[in-house]
Amino acid sequence: MTIPIREAIPEDASGIAQVHIQSWQTSYRGMVPDEVLDNLSIKRREGYWQQITSGSEILHFVFVAENEQEEVVGFASGGRSRQESLPFAGELYAIYLLEAYKRQGIGIKLFQAAIERLIVEGIDSMMLWVLADNYPARRFYEKMAGKYVTEQTITIGGKELLESVS
């Protein structure tokens, strides 16, 4: 099955929001409090992704993966690093796939699309944050040549979680 990767457009906002929320609910269950996961709002996420895909953000890009029915099944979002204290010019803000589409090479294609865009923009280094307990994601990033750099504690739903940079 060939899954095309393309730059997102505003009409993709709903599909991106659905993937975002479903991915959080399947990937972070047991790490993030259930109350947070159960109360995620597609409508709020859709508004956020509508804004991002409309191009109003400077160097914030989004790529989507579509199935044969042209439904969004995954996405990658990135741009300039938001962490000034670290020596990276670019950042992968998010990369998510629906569970049924994992382990098919789609994540690699999305990751590569993000890297290629950063290179086109003249950015030659990239970082990303990952929950320390998210072992599948950490293994994926290690496979993509990610290296542990540092960590920080974040709070989601009143629960402190350890996040690391690769």
What total number of domains does the chain contain?
1
25 pLDDT above the threshold of 90: yes
pLDDT tens sequence across 43-61: 999 999 998 898 766 678 9
Distance (Å, whole) CA 38 – CA 155: 17
Q: Give residue 63's domain range.
A: 5-128
**CATH number of the domain encompassing residue 60:** 3.40.630.30
**Residue 150 maps to a domain:** no
Distance (Å, whole) CA 39 – CA 95: 21
**Residue 151 maps to a domain:** no
pLDDT tens sequence across 78-118: 999 998 889 999 999 999 999 999 999 999 999 999 999 99
